[in-house]
Amino acid sequence: MVPAEYVITDEEKEILQEIMNIAFGKAAADLAEVINIFVVLSVPYVKVIKAAELPDYIRHEIRDFSHISIVEQNFWGEFKGSALLIFPAGAGKELISLLDDDAEASVESGSIDLLEKETLMEIGNILIGACVGKLTELLGDVVTYSPPRVIVENNPREIIPANLFDRDYSAIVMKTVFRFDERDINGFLFLTTNPESIKWLKESLYGFLAQYE
């Protein structure tokens, strides 16, 4: 059971889902401006779960991927938490040519692993930054980011930390599934909020909606 103070109502969930939809739409447009790619969006999903269940939940969601690459970035302001951008293993290599015109030469020179990491980091930076940035802008906050951390090609069991948050806490998980059309690559973006943010988030959601009363 999720403790009562962390329960978000259906209405709050719907507002958050709509804000997430707007935020990820902005992130996709920002990415499309930088690289020539079309991002197919899906309806975002919001869920409140116990932090202890979070790693299993994420592993279950990405069950089709036997090995994954992750870009992880933390953010903090009133809205505090972590973003996990998850691709199937090998996606980074597929995406290299989108960012680097000299990719073939680099691949031949043997620096593929570094290039893959840099590609994922760049894409992660744009998607996470634009999405979290728009989300917090709509809710009246400004956040600071940690540098992104990239982990490539690992088993989900090994790669997703078992202690994302204190086990007794609850977290709001916002999930968006997307597809890079030309490359046929699917990915997930999970935003998990730190429990300290939930009170602020609930108030801010109603503040946002008040403009439309």
Partner 1 sequence: MIKKILIVDDSPISRKMLKSCIPKDGGFEYFEAGDGLEGLETFKEVRPDVTFLDLTMPVMDGVQALDEMKKFDTNSIIIVATADVQVKSLERVMQLGAFHVLKKPPTKDGVQDILRKAADHKGQVNGPC
Of 19-27, 47-55, 118-126, 191-199, which segment contacts partner 1 by CB under 8 A?
19-27
Contact between 135 and partner 1 by CB under 8 A: the answer reads no
Q: Tell me how far apart the alpha carbons of residues 67 and 86 are, in angstroms, rounded to a whole number.
A: 10
Buried b (16+ CB within 10 A) or exposed e, 48-71: bbbbbebbebbbebbeebeebbbb
Among 2, 35, 41, 112, binds partner 1 (CB under 8 A): 41
> For the chain, what is the radius of gyration of the CA atoms?
17
Helix 10-34 and helix 198-210, axial crossing angle in degrees, nearest 10: 80
| By the rule CB under 8 A, 128 interacts with partner 1 | no
Closest CA to 30 of 130, 110, 107, 150: 130
Q: Give the nearest distance from C-beta 11 to partner 1 in angstroms.
A: 7
Q: Which is nearer to partner 1, 52 or 209 (CB)?
A: 209
Under rule CB under 8 A, residue 154 binds partner 1: no
User: What would the two tokens of residue 127 be?
Assistant: 């998607």
Q: Which stretch binds partner 1 (CB under 8 A): 29-37, 47-55, 67-75, 147-155?
A: 29-37
Q: Which of 8, 15, 123, 126 is close enough to bind partner 1 by CB under 8 A?
A: 15
- Measured in whole angstroms, the distance separating CA 26 from the mean position of its chain's CA atoms is 13
Which residues touch 142 (CB under 8 Å, ≥6 apart)? 77, 136
17 near partner 1, rule: CB under 8 A: yes
Interacting residues with partner 1 between 174 and 213 (CB under 8 A): 209, 212-213
Q: Using the rule CB under 8 A, which residue among 18, 100, 118, 153 binds partner 1?
A: 18
Q: Which is nearer to partner 1, 169 or 180 (CB)?
A: 180
Residue pointed to by tokens 């760049």: 122
Residue numbers of the site for partner 1 (CB under 8 A)? 11, 14-15, 17-18, 21-26, 28-29, 32-33, 38-39, 41-43, 138, 209, 212-213
